[in-house]
Amino acid sequence: MIEFRNVEKRYEDQNAGAALTDFNLTIKDGEFVFIIGDSGAGKSTILKLLMGEEKASKGMVMVDGVNVGRIRRSKLPYYRRHFGVIYQDFRLLKDYTIYENVAFAQRVVGANPISMKRRIPKMLEQLGLGEKAESLPTQLSGGEQQRAALARALVNGPLYLLADEPTGNLDPASSQEVMRLLEDINRSGATVIVVTHDVAMVDLMRKRVVALKDGQVIRDQQEGGYENA
């Protein structure tokens, strides 16, 4: 479970206002949540606080009963293994094959090479990339690159999948495909949090929608659509 309790986040060099103000949000295990809001509303700050990349100025961020702001720097890499993250710009290593990109994520956590040899092809197969294992990221379409990024995010079996504008660089068909995959991932048990501007997509999906404005929640609706704002 994720809980933001009365969180304020003010960046050191931030002039006016705060990125988040008296921010409260609870996300239960197994939920699928969209976080929407204009640029500057505080969406990325939520993800950074969750990952322990930034600390709350006030209040606390609790993940599975752990106060994230209190995790020691040396323990953060372990904590972060609970999360898989995908980004708008995919962030694949461009000089490495798709297989190597995924393998890299497994090596970082010290996975056993024999289980890697079994798991990675299976993961790529599941995401429709069985034929692309030896390709470089630049040889793939945007949709395929995002699926490769998903393979990398999922290969260590995270409890939480965070997606930061995952469809920002994709055409409508690839966007829908990525969303369908996120639904599958959610159905298989992971909590999915998607930060997006893509209100058409949000409408289509009929999931919980948390709308932010100036660092506060202005709407939180189950099966919400943007048109209900």
Q: Does 11 bind ligand ADP (CB under 6 A)?
A: yes
Look at residues 57, 49, 58, 55 and name the one whose alpha carbon lies nearest to residue 27: 49
Q: Does 218 bind ligand ADP (CB under 6 A)?
A: no
CA 31, 153, 160 angle in degrees (round to 5)? 25
Name the 3-class secondary structure at 163: strand
d(CA 114, CA 108) in angstroms, rounded, equals 15
Residue 49 or 120 having the CB closest to ligand ADP: 49
Query: Contacting ligand ADP (CB under 6 A), which of 19, 92, 202, 205?
Result: 19
Look at residues 201, 213, 219, 184 and name the one whose alpha carbon lies nearest to residue 38: 213
Binding mask 109-138 for ligand ADP (x = CB under 6 A): ------------------------------
Shortest distance, position 43 Cβ to ligand ADP, whole Å: 3
Residue 46 or 127 having the CB closest to ligand ADP: 46
Number of residues near ligand ADP (by CB under 6 A): 12
d(CA 152, CA 146) in angstroms, rounded, equals 10
Residue 161 or 210 having the CB closest to ligand ADP: 210
Shortest distance, position 207 Cβ to ligand ADP, whole Å: 19
d(CA 95, CA 217) in angstroms, rounded, equals 41
Environment class of 215 (CB within 10 Å of its CB; exposed 0-12, middle 13-18, buried 19+): buried
Residue 44 or 221 having the CB closest to ligand ADP: 44
Shortest distance, position 104 Cβ to ligand ADP, whole Å: 27
d(CA 222, CA 27) in angstroms, rounded, equals 12
Residue 43 or 132 having the CB closest to ligand ADP: 43
**Interacting residues with ligand ADP between 29 and 58 (CB under 6 A):** 37, 39-45
Shortest distance, position 16 Cβ to ligand ADP, whole Å: 8
Residue 120 or 195 having the CB closest to ligand ADP: 195
Which is it for the CA torsion 79, 82, 87, 91, positive or negative? positive
- The residues of the shown chain that bind ligand ADP, judged by CB under 6 A, are 11, 13-14, 19, 37, 39-45
